[in-house]
Chains A and B, each alone.
Chain A
Amino acid sequence: MKKSILSKTIAALSAPLLIVALTAFAGFASDNAAGKISLTNVSYDPTREFYEQYNKLFREYWLREKGQDIEIIQSHGGSGKQARSVIEGNEADVVTLALEGDIDEIRKAGLINDGWVKEFDKSSAPYTSTIVFLVRKGNPKNIRDWDDIVKPGIEIITPDPKSSGGARWNFLAAWAFSDRQNGGDEEKNKEFLRALFANVTVLDSGARGSTTTFVENGQGDVLLAWENEAFLSQKEHPGDFEIATPSLSILAQPSVAVVDTYVGKHGTEEAAKAYLQYLYSDEAQRLEGRNYYRPSNPNILKEFGGAFNLNIKLVNIDDEFGGWEAARVKFFADGAIFDEIYQR
């Protein structure tokens, strides 16, 4: 008897709660109808700070231009993992990932239209970066260029190109350097990379892991890092590290794309396109520069000439390796050159 009174009480209490919940839900829905829209931007790890600031900038811009309030939901993680999450049903409106190849996997899954690379300027890469060396204070091992790090006794920290998309740039930059030194002799390039990876003492699965290994756990003499990550480490530990820029490196182009299937479903196509287009505006380009990405607009890049070493020769993946897919097949597929280097 007691029990039934209790359950009645619970029912009586929960009924108004349910009504409140439903009204709240309806409130949200009507909010939507009144013109507030939301975009989901699925991005990779090191862009967290940048997009936090950019989203504010874009929100003001969109309100000014369209009189519409826009909310941007951010998601960050390893680039490949993020691409997989979109393929497996994370309904992103836009993706801003580390590699063209990761976005192309989403295209292969049928969610992004063919030809997305041409949709925005500069192969849909509004900001770029490159691979540099982060070394310990005073550069005790005197590391200046790629041929310094393959010397015996140097300990290198880099993520695994098999598990980290970002790490593939490291590999390709070293290859491009060796290729010029050895006049295009592939066997010698393999020797060079073999010597390099023989010096790798910890091969973390992602770029952030490698940074932790080098910076927090004090492992290794040199960290092969994205320029923006190297600057961030320097900022967080002032005076502990130096950046050494090699004579030659690779132009890392993190790409952006509208996820056509999902913007169609959400009706957010216009906003999503504007969101990515605005990354090329002068204000956004400057914001990228302040967050240690190289602005793709050459005039604005010059404004940051004091921060970035603009003398570094940067090779481009399309010219040097025939594009991302060709590089993946040649170097990083199972049994390809990277595996060969470790084969004993």
Chain B
Amino acid sequence: MSSLKTPPERPKRNVIPGFGLSMGVTLTMLSLIVLIPLASVPLVLRDYSLSEFWRVVTDKQTIATYKVSFSCAAAAAVINVFFGVLLAWVITRYKFPGRRILDGLIELPFALPTAVAGVALTTLYSDKGWIGYLFSKVGVKISYTPIGIKIAMIFIGIPFVVRSIQPVLEKLDPQYEEAAATLGASRARTFMSVVIPEILPAALTGFALAFSRAIGEYGSVVFIAGNIPYKTQITPLIIMNKLEQFNYPAAASIALVMIVFSFLVLFGINILQSKISEISRGS
């Protein structure tokens, strides 16, 4: 009875069928939507010499934009993590009227065209706008300054943080906190030693998502930034300027630098995140 002897390569089959098909579809989609367009960036550069590339990406004005883009995006992401955790906490832990509406509002920055958001924020935060007027009274200008850039970046990034943390908080059994309390831990200690380690990996994911989204953001930021060279120009704007001058290779060069930078940052956060997960799992 040969059927008793199963061939050695067969038993390793996955319990859920369809691996070949789904993997094929995945790779095709990924290639068409992500990999091929990304690969075409360096392709535009094939006739570009290394010295030209270097001259373009290390141009003084361009370097100034990296500083603006990365520092504003990082600051916005940090602020987003704080407010995002707070928002997620409020939505998951407290019952209050309008909670569902608040929950739904979180996604609004996703749905709104970014240009619309940019125009609205600029108007609101300019020294003639409702909010900006109050701040201008105490000498703070928001629209057309780096603060304005950060506001726009916070706006577009907040859903990422909230939606990363929310499911973790929902699953976090309040019994752990009760246990900590019965063992004599103060509220602060409970929060720091029980809640924070649980949500830290998710918060890092939220940070990474909000950060990378903010770096690439063009539509809303250009309206509020003021776009003054060396002061409030962001890197995506410089890329658009190069395109506007029909200088495709220069645009692709700077885009490549952004991709590499962003990739390194995301990669670093990923490593940090897996380390933290290991620690919090106690292994």
Contact = CB atoms under 8 A, between A and B. Distances in A.
A339 B246 CA distance: 17
Contacts, number: 74
A219 B144 contact: yes
Contact of B241 (A163, A204, A344): A163
A212 B116 CA distance: 13
B68 interface: no
Nearest to A78: B244
Interface in B235-272: 237, 240-247, 250
Contacts of A205: 222, 227, 237, 240-241
Contacts of B126: 217-219
B197 interface: no
Nearest to B143: A217
Given A80-B244, A217-B128, A204 B227 contact: yes
Contacts of B222: 204-205, 209
Contacts of A343: 60-61
A200 to B, nearest CB: 7
B241 A342 contact: no
B119 A202 contact: no
B59 A334 contact: yes
Given A162-B244, A216-B123, A218-B128, A342 B61 contact: yes
Interface string A64-99: 000000000000001011011000000000000000
A34 to B, nearest CB: 40
B101 interface: no
A162 B228 contact: no
Interface of B: 56, 59-61, 119, 122-123, 126-129, 143-144, 222-223, 226-230, 237, 240-247, 250
Given A202-B144, A219-B126, 20 more contacts: A80-B246, A83-B246, A84-B243, A84-B246, A160-B241, A162-B241, A163-B240, A165-B244, A201-B144, A201-B228, A203-B227, A209-B222, A209-B223, A212-B119, A217-B122, A217-B128, A218-B128, A219-B144, A333-B245, A344-B230
